[in-house]
Structure 1
Amino acid sequence: MIIYSGSKADFMNEVVEDTIAYSIRDNIQEKMHRKTGEAEFRSWVNSLEYMYKVLNDDGIPQNSGIAIEYNLPNTAKRVDFLVSGYDKERSANVVVIELKQWEKLNKVEGLDGLVETYTGGANRRVVHPSYQAWSYAQMIKDYNEYAQISDVRLWPCAYLHNYLRTHDDPLDDPIYKDYLDDAPAFAKGDVKKLREYIKNAVMEGDDSEILYEIDNGRIKPSKSLQDAIVGMLESNPEFNLIDDQKVVFERIMELSRLCEKDGRKRTLIAKGGPGTGKTVIAINLLARLTQEGVFAQYCSKNSAPRTVYARKLKGHRTKSSIDNMFKGSGAYVDAPNNIVGAILADEAHRLNEKSGLYGNQGINQIHEIIHAAKLSVFFIDESQRVTVKDIGSVNEIKHWAAANHSAVYEEELSSQFRCNGSDGYLAWLDNVLDIRETANFDIAEIDYDFKVFDSPQEMRQSIIEKNGHSNKSRILAGYCWDWPKSGRSDTNIHDIKIGDFEMSWNLSSDESFAISSTSINEAGCIHTTQGLEFEYVGVIIGNDLRYENHHLVTDYTKRAKTDQSIKGLKKMESADPERAHKLADEVIKNTYRTLMTRGMKGCYVYATDPGLRQYLKECAATTTHYALITLA
C-alpha cells in the first residue's frame, strides 16, 4: 500500500505550498485508519524538505514517479521514499530511499548489521540504515510478482540528512561493508551525490506507472528465494522429517494445495509434547511451501526460536532475505483477509489476545492469524502455557476458526525425539510436578541422565563440562531473580545470587542465547529457551516451587518483580482468588516442565528449597541400579 503517490512535479509543488505532510497525514487516516503523531508529522516536514533539494535538478524528469510511505505487504514496515523511472536502455528502475534524522551513531561489534543511536527517546540498538534499505528492496524483489516478471531493478540507499560525516566514521565501518556496497549511505552535504545516484537509475519518467504496478502486484515468492531456502534446508540434516512428522507434513501440504485451488480457508491444529518435532515440521513447510510458490511465513510469540532457526537456515551468510519469512505473532493485526498463503504458528500455546508494546492492538492473535491466511497451522502443547496472558488452546483456535468460516483439522504428534526419545521421562515429570497423574512413578530403565544436586556450583560445573564437547548445553532458571535494566549487557553484573553462588541472566543482546559461545556463562529463562532444545540443561528451581508437608507448593509472590508472565495476578486474586491461585499454579508448574524438557540427553537440577531437592531425589531414587539416573 502506497500512502502518497504522484509525479516529481506534484511532489515539488506540494513541498513549495507546505501541504505535503498534511496530504500524507490525511491519506494515512483514510487508508490505514490511524492518526499521525506530532513527532512523525514533524519528521515528514523536515525530511521531505531535504528530498526537495535532492530532486531539484532538471536531470531528474518531472514525470518520474514518487511514492512516500510504501507499506510493504503484510508487515508494519514502510519504505520512506521511492523514485521510479527508466534508464537509458528503458529498463524499469526504482530508487528505494531510507530517510534518517539521526545526528550521530555508534557501531556495534559482534552483532550483524546493528548500530546504536538515539531514537524514540532513548539510545537503542537498531539496524544500520543501509541494511534497512537493502532489506526493504530485497523484500520487494523476493515477493512482488510484477517486480520479478518485469525485472525491475531496485536501487536501495540511505539518506541521513542531519548526520555530519567524519573521518573513520562509524557509519562507514568495514563491518558494514556488505550493506554499504549494495545500499550506499548519504549524509549531510551529500545532496549532489544522492542526485547522481538517482539520475543513474532514472533518466526517463514513467508517470508513476512502475510504482502503480508494484503497489498492485501479486505477492509471490521469487524463484531465487525458493531455490535459496530449499538449498539452506538441505544443508541442515537436523531438519530431516521422521515417522509421524512426515505424515503431518504431507497432510499440511495437501491442505495448502486445496486452499490454493479453491480459495477456502482451512486451519490445522498439530498437537504434540516437547520434542515431537513441531518446529522441524514448521521449518520444512516454510521451505516446501515457498518452493511451490506459496507466500508462507513462520510466526511465534517469542523471538528466540525465530532468531535461532533463521540463523540455522542462513548458516554463515550475513545477508539473506530469510529473515523476512519469520514474523512475530502480533504481525497480523491489520493484515487483510487471505493476504498470506500459509501462516505456520509455532508455540501456539504462547499466543496472546492483544498485540503491541502495551497490549492494546488488535482483537485476538489467533483470530488475526486465521483471518490473514488461507491456511493457518497451529503447533501446540497446552502444557507449555507459561504466562497469564497465554491464551493458546485447542478450543480457542476452534472458536476463531468457526468465526472466520475456516474448516478445522487435527493431527497428533506422538513420536518423541527429545529426552532421548523417552515418553516415559515426560510422563514421570508430569507426575512428579503434579501436572497430571500418570502410571510413571519412577524412571527405571529410561535412557535419560537426570541428576539432583545439592549445590548450584556443582550443577553449573557439570553443565560446563557437558557444554565443552559441542556448545549445546545451557543453564536455565525459574524467573525468581530480578533482571534490572542497568547492567543487562554486562556479564560481570550477577542477577542470580544463591549464597556464594552468582550468575548473570542472559545478556540483553541480539545474539541468540542458544547459539552464542559465551552463553554458557549466563542463565536462560523461559522466554529465551521455549521452543528450543539443547543436549543437556541445568535447571535452577527458585522458591516459587517448594515441597512442604508432603505437597508441592507454588508461590507466585516469589517470582521476580520484573517478571511480566504473572502480571495481573494480584488484581485477579483480590477479585477471584481461586482462579488466580489455579492459574498461578499452572504457570509455575508448566514453566519448570518446559525448562526441564529442553535437554535431549539429560537434565541436571538444583532447587533452592531443601524440601524440593529431597522430594526430587526420592522420586528418582526408586530407580533400579541399572538405570542412568544418578544423584550428586
Structure 2
Amino acid sequence: MNTTTHPSYQAWSYAGLLQSFNATIEEESIFVQPCAYLHNYAPDDVLTNEFYSYYIEKAPLFLKPDAVKLREFIKRFMRHGDRRNLIARIENGKIRPSKSLADSLRSIMKGNQEFIMIDDQKVVYEEALWLAAHSNEKTKNVLIIEGGPGTGKSVVAVNLLVELNRRGLMAQYVTKTSAPREVYFDKLSPDRRKPELKNLFVSSGSFMSAPKNSVSALIVDEAHRLTEQTGFLKMGENQVKEIINTATFSAFFIDEDQRVHINDYAESWIIEEWAAKLGAKVTKLSLASQFRCAGSDGYLAWLDNLLQIRETANENFLSSGFKYDFRVVESPSELRDLIYEKNKVNNKARLVAGYCWDWKSAKDAGAYDITFPEYDFQMRWNLKSYGSTWIIDPNSVKEVGCIHTCQGLEVDYIGVIIGEDLIYRDGQVLVDPTKRSKDDKSIFGYKKLMKDKPEEGKILLRAIIKNTYRTLMTRGMKGCYVYCEDEGLREYIRDNLAS
C-alpha cells in the first residue's frame, strides 16, 4: 500500500507553494483559492473524516456526486473567463527561490510554520512522527530518507526536531560537520541558552558511550557524512551503530552523491545492515521535490550531465527557458567582483573554492592563500575567528569558503573557483588528486589506497572530487558563477551553455 497525502492537503500546499514562489502572484496580488475534486470517488468516512477537517476547510473537497456543488464553488471565485490570460502569466511567472532555513529557524523553533511541506515531504514528516511515537526498546525503528540537494531534507529534519520535542519525546538533531550547528546556534542564541542548544544540535560523535535507548529520536541530517569511527584518533566503534543503539527511533537523511571525504562512510545499505543486526525495523522513503537553484531539478540534472557524474536527458537547461543565473567568467577577479556586488543586497553571496591551495593564512595572518597574480587576485581562506559561521558573518565575503564550511547551507549567489583537480581532456571530465592542497584532509591517505586497491581508489577519488564541485555549485538559490583554472574545462562548460 502506497502512502500519500490527503487531496485537500495537496491542493492547499500547492496553493501555498504558488504564493510563496511565483513572482506573478505576489506582484499582481492574485488571490489563490484551492479545492480538490475526486470525480470518481464515492462518499465514505475516509476522506471526509473529521481528522482532515482543518485541510478540508482550507481546500474544500468535492466527490463523485458533488459536480453541482463544485460548479457553484467555482462561480463564487470566477465570474468571468480568463480575459487577462492570467493562467499563462502565472505558468510563465518567475520562480523565486525558497526562504533560507537558517533565517527561518527562530520562527520554526517557536512552533511557527515557515515552510509548507508538499507531497513526499509531508509523507516523510508524518511517517517519521508515527514511527517515533510507536518506537520503544522492544520495537526500534530506523527511517532512511534519500534526497538530493534542495529536496527539503534539512527543513523536514528541523521541523521534526521541533514537533517531536513539543510532543514530549526527547529528540536531537545530529550532524557530522559543525558548520550547520554553529549557524543554528548563532541564529537561535537570542532565544535559547547555549547549553540548551548544544543538547538539541549535537555531533555524530556524541554517542560512543551513550546508554542504549536513552533518547527517543535522533534525526541525522547529512547522514552521508557519517564516519565509521570518530575523529583523527578513530574513537568509538561505528557511528551508525552508535546512533541506532542510542535511540528507539532514528531518521537518516542521506544523499550519497554528496560524499566529499575519503572517510565519509554511511550509505543506505550500510544503515540497513546495522539496523538488521541491532533488531530495528527499516523504512525507506525518498524526497524528490526540488526547491534549491530557482526551484528546479533541471539544473541538478544538467550539472550531473556536465560533470559526467551520470548521463541525464537534460544536456542544456537554458534552452527550456530555465530561470537560473549561471555564468562562466574569464577571471577570478571578475568572479570576486560579481559576488561582492550581489552581496550588497542582503549579505547572501559568497565565494568558495576547491581545496587546491594551502591554508598559509592559518599560521601567517598576513599571507594570502588563493592567488592569481596575472589577474590581480589574492584572497584568504575563511578566517578561523569566524568558527563555522563564515557563511553568515557580514564581513566574511572577503574570504573564500570551502566544502567544509558550506555543505548543508545555502546563499542566494555562489561563486565557485574550480581548481586544477578538475580538468577536461579529449571529451572527458577528469580528476587530478595531486592538485589538491596538502592541507586538505578529505583525500588524506589516497596514495596508499591507490596502491592497495587501485580500481576502488580511482572510483572513490573521482566521486569525491566531482561530488565536491557538484555540492559547491548547488549552494546558490538564485545563481552560480564559475571560474575554472583549467582552460579546457572553462571552454567545455561554456560550450554546454551555448549548445
TM-score, normalising length from structure 1? 0.60
Partner Cα distance (1:465, 1:543) in 2:
27
Q: What is the CA distance between 1:330 and its match in structure 2?
A: 0.8
After superposition, the Cα gap between the structure-2 partners of 1:548 and 1:231, relative to the gap in structure 1 and judged at 3 Å, is closer
Of structures 1 and 2, the one scoring higher in RCO (CA 8 A, sep 6+) is: 2
Q: What is the CA distance between 1:465 and its match in structure 2?
A: 0.9
Alignment of 1:209-224 (within 5 A): none
Q: Deviations over 1:128-175 (max 9, x none)?
A: xxxxxxxxxxxxxxxxxxxxxxxxxxxxxxxxxxxxxxxxxxxxxxxx
Partner Cα distance (1:423, 1:232) in 2:
26
CA contact (8 A) 2:358 2:439 kept: yes
Q: Deviations over 1:414-439 (max 9, x none)?
A: 11110011111000000000101100
Partner of 1:586: 463
Q: Is it true that 1:562 corresponds to 2:439 in the alignment? A: yes
CA contact (8 A) 2:361 2:368 kept: no
SS in 1 for 2:334: helix
AA aligned opposite 1:268: L
After superposition, the Cα gap between the structure-2 partners of 1:557 and 1:239, relative to the gap in structure 1 and judged at 3 Å, is same
Q: What is the CA distance between 1:230 and its match in structure 2?
A: 8.7
AA aligned opposite 1:506: N
| Residue 141 of structure 2, aligned match among 250, 257, 266 | 266
After superposition, the Cα gap between the structure-2 partners of 1:321 and 1:547, relative to the gap in structure 1 and judged at 3 Å, is same
Partner of 1:43: none
CA contact (8 A) 1:239 1:283 kept: no
CA contact (8 A) 1:474 1:534 kept: yes
- Equivalent pairs counted in the alignment come to 390
| Residue 481 of structure 2, aligned match among 604, 622, 626 | 604
SS in 1 for 2:442: helix
After superposition, the Cα gap between the structure-2 partners of 1:592 and 1:230, relative to the gap in structure 1 and judged at 3 Å, is closer
- Any gaps of 5 or more consecutive residues in structure 2? 1-104
AA aligned opposite 1:367: K
Q: What is the CA distance between 1:318 and its match in structure 2?
A: 6.3
| Residue 173 of structure 2, aligned match among 275, 298, 305 | 298
Partner Cα distance (1:233, 1:286) in 2:
9
| Residue 551 of structure 1, aligned match among 428, 437, 453 | 428
Partner Cα distance (1:394, 1:556) in 2:
27
Q: Is it true that 1:361 corresponds to 2:235 in the alignment? A: yes
Q: Is it true that 1:461 corresponds to 2:337 in the alignment? A: yes
Q: What is the CA distance between 1:411 and its match in structure 2?
A: 1.1
Partner of 1:391: 265
Partner Cα distance (1:348, 1:464) in 2:
33
SS in 1 for 2:308: coil
Q: What is the CA distance between 1:363 and its match in structure 2?
A: 1.4
- Any gaps of 5 or more consecutive residues in structure 1? 1-228, 623-632
Which region of structure 1 is more displaced relative to structure 2, 496-505 or 233-242? 233-242
Q: What is the CA distance between 1:263 and its match in structure 2?
A: 4.5
Partner Cα distance (1:318, 1:496) in 2:
38
CA contact (8 A) 2:212 2:246 kept: yes
Partner Cα distance (1:236, 1:290) in 2:
14
Q: What is the CA distance between 1:246 and its match in structure 2?
A: 2.1
Partner of 1:106: none
What is the RMSD of the two structures over their aligned residues, measured on CA atoms? 1.9
Partner of 2:186: 311
Partner of 1:506: 382
Q: Which has the higher strand share?
A: 1
Q: Deviations over 1:263-320 (max 9, x none)?
A: 4110000111000111111111111111111111111111001111233334466656
Q: What is the CA distance between 1:238 and its match in structure 2?
A: 4.8
Q: Is it true that 1:346 corresponds to 2:210 in the alignment? A: no
Partner of 2:352: 476
CA contact (8 A) 1:230 1:287 kept: no
Q: What is the CA distance between 1:232 and its match in structure 2?
A: 5.6
| Residue 572 of structure 1, aligned match among 445, 449, 454 | 449
Q: Deviations over 1:538-570 (max 9, x none)?
A: 000000000112211100010000110001110
Partner of 2:282: 408
SS in 1 for 2:174: strand
Q: Is it true that 1:327 corresponds to 2:202 in the alignment? A: yes
Which region of structure 1 is more displaced relative to structure 2, 449-458 or 245-254? 245-254
Pair member with larger Rg: 1
Alignment of 1:133-532 (within 5 A): 233-234=109-110, 238-260=114-136, 263-315=138-190, 321-358=196-233, 360-443=234-317, 444=319, 445-484=321-360, 486-487=362-363, 490=365, 492-499=366-373, 500-509=376-385, 510=387, 512-532=389-409
Greater than 3 Å deviation, 4+ residue runs: 229-232, 234-243, 313-320, 484-488
CA contact (8 A) 1:504 1:522 kept: yes
SS in 1 for 2:474: coil
After superposition, the Cα gap between the structure-2 partners of 1:256 and 1:318, relative to the gap in structure 1 and judged at 3 Å, is closer
TM-score, normalising length from structure 2? 0.75
After superposition, the Cα gap between the structure-2 partners of 1:583 and 1:244, relative to the gap in structure 1 and judged at 3 Å, is same
Q: Deviations over 1:212-270 (max 9, x none)?
A: xxxxxxxxxxxxxxxxx99662487655534432221111001011015x741100001
Which region of structure 1 is more displaced relative to structure 2, 235-244 or 409-418? 235-244
Q: Deviations over 1:446-486 (max 9, x none)?
A: 11110000101111111111111111111110010111474
CA contact (8 A) 2:307 2:429 kept: yes
SS in 1 for 2:242: helix
